[in-house]
Amino acid sequence: MARLRTIMGRTAKIRRGAPWLAAVGGLALGLATRATVPGPSSDPTSTASVEGQKSPELPIPGGPTAARIQDLANLDAAGCEALLKELTTYPRQEFGIAAEAVLLRWMSLAGPDEVLAAVASKDTRYHLPLFNAWVTLDPHAAMDSTTRPEFAVPRALYALDEARPDFADYLAAAWKPNTTTNQDLERSLTRLAREQPELARTLPNSPPDLRKRAIAAVARGWAKKDPQAALAWLREMDPKTEPGRSGMVSLFSSWAETDPAAVAAALKEATWLDLRGFGSSIENLRTPERPDAAVDAALRGDPFVDVTTLHELLKEARLDWTSPSPINSYGWNPVDFEQAGLECANLPPGPERDYLMDAIVQGWSAGDPEAALDFADRHQLSSASAERLRSRPTPAMREAALADPGQAFATLFNPENAPIAGMTREQATELMQQWGRTHPADAAELIAGSWDPEGLPHLNPILLENVLGVGWAQEDPIAATDWVSSLPEGSLRQPAWMAMEDYVTRVAPDLAFTLSARLLDDEDLRRQRLQSELQQSRREIGQEAALRLLESLDLTDDERDTLHDLLSPAR
């Protein structure tokens, strides 16, 4: 039962806020293993048989939780596998909780190796609950980073949650530029810094992107415990360059949430710190006499400040009414935009009311652009936000674009081509991005067929990335890379590959490395991307596989030597 208590505690820590999982996972495993745990001995000399003493038993709660535990405890290995398949219909959040409990039960019966072999190659949704179950049963094996690289991120999260002294090694192995999992790692690192800052500051020195973001995360967490100590740590770095600068911004922003007066005093004393580029919120703390400082301070304390209170603050703020509204950038977030609009409409006419209306339109348009536009039209709002909504493509434009994409988007490749259906270039850009997400292969062929071989076209590079990268490579990297690989040498091949390179690297850095070696002609860009992709490949497929990959490609001698040095164990 001592082992069971350990398992329950570990499971509860992994799934914070999910108490039934601790019960189901821990108790189900306990019920499964109870037959193998020695019970009270029949030996009259046994301590357990002494009158008045019993083997400690873990109480099973009553009600629905008890039923869940009992159902799970009665499953055999085949039943666990079948139930796991059924769980794929659960919402994502519930799936993870339930899957972990089932996998924990299954592993207790069949052993981790068998379950890993049966499940690990399936949908990536299984990875986190699978790892959590495994590390509960056998933390030493689960944390062996030389095996199963798909668990790099869960290992790093576990190392951070457990405050392991070697967490930095796992963090470096899990970090991939521009991926959403980095946000989870940063949150865990921030929490560790809040609890054990001296440990959290032992960060890896590379890659630079990780170093920068990790220092900012530590500063953010440390500011909650001892901001002055965090400030002294950051001063040891160069605050004029990265990553020290990012750490300073993060420190002051986090510190201001709890003690803005102390931050203001520290900023006034920090004459050694160049505050340019730190953002208006930090500047408002340093110079509270700025017109928008009172608005910023109010919203920092309560992002749900009501419309009437904001209106009174704006009357005293002496703002430049022609500048963009700062209210949204400071985090104003009305609970109900429709109600906020009604309250705003009842305020006295004037620049303050128009400013608030513009802020409402900005925030409202993100979730319900039609309602936001209706509000702007009813009140004859002429702000930049309202005009952007009015200039959106009309249903007639969408219909025309779907009927003849080649003609509809011809103006994007050459401004001399006449737009159809009265579309502006901006409207055509928005429609092509929408069409490219639903018809990526057709959009790619249209781009290839319209590309000017004599030089770069007028097509916006961001649009190219949104169509080929976000719209295609992110959803179907195999089809996207097959297409870009088939392009002939010329002006399109390199920009087309760079539009999707980042999205391919996230899922297959070794494939991205191979394609960059084939498709990139620009010397500086080629060197930069090959080095980054090879480092990520090593983290994904291991040192030996990365070396074999390096030897298999047609590279110059200088490139091969440089990349070999990059894989050197000394680095």
- Rounded alpha-carbon distances, angstroms, from residue 250 to 107, 266, 473: 42, 14, 33
Residue 374: pLDDT over 50: yes
Residue 148: pLDDT over 80: yes
Residue 354: pLDDT over 60: yes
For residues 41 and 545, which has the higher predicted lDDT (pLDDT)? 545
CA dihedral 152→155→160→163, nearest 10 degrees, is: -140
Q: Reduce the DSSP state of residue 69 to 3 states and report it.
A: helix
pTM to 2 decimals? 0.56
Q: Strands (DSSP E) along 387-544, which ranges? A: none
CA distance 319 to 351: 10
Do the Cβ atoms of 273 and 237 come closer than 8 Å? Answer: no
Nearest to 496 by CA among 527, 450, 535: 450
Q: CA Rg, the chain, in Å?
A: 29
- Rounded alpha-carbon distances, angstroms, from residue 11 to 24, 26, 100, 166, 442: 10, 7, 9, 21, 48
DSSP string, 490-523: STTHHHHHHHHHHHHHHH-HHHHHHHHHHH---H
Average pLDDT over every residue of 64-77: 73
- Long-range contacts for 526-535 (Cβ within 8 Å, ≥24 apart)? 527/559, 527/562, 529/501, 530/559, 530/563, 531/562, 531/563, 531/566, 532/177, 532/207, 532/505, 533/505, 533/509, 534/509, 534/563, 534/566, 534/567, 535/207, 535/566
Average pLDDT over every residue of 8-27: 40
Tokens of 48: 């357990």
> Quick count: other Cβ atoms within 10 Å of Cβ 398?
18
Residue 542: pLDDT over 70: yes
Average pLDDT over every residue of 246-255: 91
> Quick count: other Cβ atoms within 10 Å of Cβ 419?
19
CA distance 53 to 47: 8
Residue 54: pLDDT over 60: no
> Quick count: other Cβ atoms within 10 Å of Cβ 66?
14
Average pLDDT over every residue of 95-111: 90
pLDDT digits (tens, 9 = 90+) for 396-411: 899 988 899 988 998 8
Residue 267: pLDDT over 70: yes
- Domains of the chain, by residue range, sit at 1-37+57-142, 175-290, 293-378, 391-494, 508-571
pLDDT at 420: 86
Average pLDDT over every residue of 532-557: 86
> H helices then E strands: how many in the chain?
35, 0
> Quick count: other Cβ atoms within 10 Å of Cβ 286?
19
**Bond from prior residue into 207 cis (ω within 30 degrees of 0):** yes
Q: What percent of the chain has pLDDT over 70?
A: 83
CA distance 95 to 88: 7
Residue 261: pLDDT over 70: yes
pLDDT at 497: 95
Nearest to 23 by CA among 5, 44, 41, 50: 5
Residue 155: pLDDT over 70: yes
pLDDT at 303: 78
**Bond from prior residue into 243 cis (ω within 30 degrees of 0):** yes
Residue 171: pLDDT over 80: yes
What is the average pLDDT score of the chain?
A: 81
pLDDT at 492: 87
- Rounded alpha-carbon distances, angstroms, from residue 454 to 21, 253, 292, 402, 446: 62, 49, 50, 29, 17
Do the Cβ atoms of 221 and 189 come closer than 8 Å? Answer: yes
Average pLDDT over every residue of 344-358: 91
CA distance 469 to 436: 10
